Amino acid sequence: MSDVPAMSATPVEYRHGSSVFEGLLLRGEGPPGPAPTVLVFPGMEGRTGGMVDLAKEVVPWGYQAFAVDLYGKGVSGSTPAELRSLMQPLMDDRALLAERLAAVVAAVAALPEVDASRIAAAGFCFGGLCVLDLARAGAPVTGVASFHGVLTPPPAPSGRRIDCKVAVFHGWDDPFARPDDVTALAAELTSAGADWQLLAFGGTAHGFMAPTANLPALGVMYDAVAARRSWAAAKAFLAECLPEA
């Protein structure tokens, strides 16, 4: 991981329906004015401190980051069962998830600090599925990066062309995304005309980007080498997606 420079962290409220959410805009000491922005979507744990720390990692690369909240302001869980109860309704209703993702992008694009023409997205685990769904929906983002994400498409794919760039960072031993799922995603992205790339790591489980992941019996395990290689590749990918103005 890189050294994190001084930065501001500004809470940002946004709405989806009657629900209020609170993301966090992380901005370095760059010049004032609208800046390229990376939306960072968390796993099932939501917008935790650990996920904010991951979001901070992109700031030294010349971007600002927006740590996304998908569950609601002040909403959190402390046990696996509670976290599943927060995530599963969105997993079960991909149309609802698509609406919530669109609300996030619209809210961030409207911020005066954000260059709406230069927004990309990165997601981890459940967040990896979220960013792939952004691409599938034709969201106004220039690229998406999925890290050990769930790869299953919505039950009623749109069939539309994917115009943004797509990068997938995958542990080959991930029990939540089997080789058949990887092959199916490749076919889906190719059929959609996407500019896509895949980096798969042998002997690597789910959650390899999360330093606290340590559940080998469940196929969830941090891998420092895979994390380092993923960040290096992601840095180059984002430079393509968010070129200097």
Q: What is the pLDDT along the chain (245 residues), one digit of tens a residue?
A: 445 468 899 999 999 999 999 999 999 987 778 999 999 999 998 898 888 999 999 999 999 999 999 999 988 877 889 889 999 999 999 999 999 999 999 999 999 999 999 999 999 999 999 999 999 999 999 999 999 999 999 998 777 899 999 999 999 999 999 999 999 999 999 999 999 999 999 999 999 999 999 999 999 999 999 999 999 999 999 999 999 86
Q: Are 108 and 39 in contact (CB under 8 A)?
A: yes
pLDDT, residue 245, reads 66
Q: What is the 3-state secondary structure (H, E, C) of the chain?
A: CCCCCCCEEEEEEEEECCEEEEEEEEECCCCCCCEEEEEEECCCCCCCHHHHHHHHCCHHHCCEEEECCCCCCCCCCCCHHHHHHHHHHHHHCHHHHHHHHHHHHHHHHCCCCEEEEEEEEEEECHHHHHHHHHHHCCCCCCEEEEECCCCCCCCCCCCCCCCCEEEEEEECCCCCCCHHHHHHHHHHHHHCCCEEEEEEECCCCECCCCCCCEEHHHCEECCHHHHHHHHHHHHHHHHHHCCCC
Per-residue pLDDT of 199-212, as tens digits, reads: 999 999 999 999 99
Map out the domains of the chain with their CATH numbers: 8-241 (3.40.50.1820)
pLDDT, residue 206, reads 97
For residue 96, give the amino acid letter: L
pLDDT, residue 74, reads 86
**Cα–Cα nearest to 10, from 112, 100, 101:** 112
